[in-house]
Amino acid sequence: MTADEKERYSRQILFAPIGEAGQAKIRDARVCVVGCGALGSFQAEALARAGVDRLRLIDRDYVEYSNLQRQWLYEEADAREETPKAIAAARRLHQLNGRVEVEPQVADLTPSNAEELIAGCDLILDGTDNFETRYLLNDVSVKTTTPWIYGAAIGSYGIAMPVDARRGPCFACVYPEPPAGAQPTCDVNGVLASTTAAVASLQVAMALRLIVGWPDFEARIHTLDVWEGASRQMRAGERDPQCRTCGAREFRYLEGQRRIPVSLCGRNAVQLHDSTRPLNLEELAKRLRMVGEVRVNEFALRLEIPKYNLTFFPDGRAIVKGTTNVGLARSLYARLIGA
């Protein structure tokens, strides 16, 4: 370690479970943060400050004013300019720690790109907001023997769990199927910034333990309620020999190639993948200026028309804001881009 590194991370090095040897492992780790919202933005900042020199940030979305209440790293200018979260986060992290190599990926993690986007990373942190993507992460984790840290937050309640199928149960062992019925969401139940910060802090601590070496690893589910001041942990159990994922090695989420339109949590919006071809944003802007107000940069094109705002990305993805009706969103997309 250099003298500058020893000075910068001196307080962390003094923590006995880390020390200089652990700090060197933290420096050399490659960590992937999937989702740069309330959980992921905190994770990314904490990891960069801790000295992880290589971070990959994956996020499909752009910064909005409603994000600023609970999402770290972002400023009003990012919301005003609708900067993609991965890009805004990377810029801010470079300011916080210039030695960190940040690789922003403005992309939606899907079965067709998940392995490629996560390839080469030693650890995955969950900053997502839906079970389908978490099962996809679990498939990638088991298939590539890459551990990951699950986390979720709603209202004042949060949960976190380390997942390493080489030494304990995988996510599908603990949760064989997604919860039945409608689940609480941030747009209905809200969420406290202190909840997401607490959950992300737990995830980062678990990540550091895995990076420096966790000889007494045990998969434990940690839950907390910041409003009630309560916390609890319990064993996640043993690996299930009959588990479809780590037992039978059936990767049903990773093998599903279809990109399904989804309503976005708390956004009154639908994300579409209806284009099989990339979009030339500058050419598209010329055409759409006859339809409504257009703003375009290298990352996205924003179109405002009566009742709706549409954001198009170079990979053909679009977010239609102003409705949760998938059929209506598809109709708008087809009218503007073509079926």
DSSP-assigned letter for residue 132? H
Instruction: Supply the DSSP string of 282-331, one letter for each residue.
Output: HHHHHHHTTTSEEEE-SS-EEEEETTEEEEE-TTS-EEEES---HHHHHH
Phi and psi at residue 311, to the nearest 5°: -120, 125
CA angle (59 as vertex; 56, 61 as ends), nearest 5 = 155
Asked whether the beta carbons of 51 and 27 are under 8 A apart, the reply is yes
> Which residues does residue 179 pair with via DSSP β-bridges, in sequence order?
none
Nearest to 162 by CA among 91, 106, 214: 214
Active site residues: 186
Question: What is the rounded CA–CA span in Å between residue 301 and residue 317?
Answer: 11
Q: Would strands 123-126 and 30-34 be described as parallel, antiparallel, or unpaired?
A: parallel
Question: What is the rounded CA–CA span in Å between residue 64 and residue 78?
Answer: 8
Total Cβ atoms within 10 A of residue 205: 16
Question: What is the rounded CA–CA span in Å between residue 238 and residue 157?
Answer: 25
Asked whether the beta carbons of 143 and 251 are under 8 A apart, the reply is yes
Cβ neighbours of residue 194 closer than 8 Å, sequence gap 6 or more:
156, 226
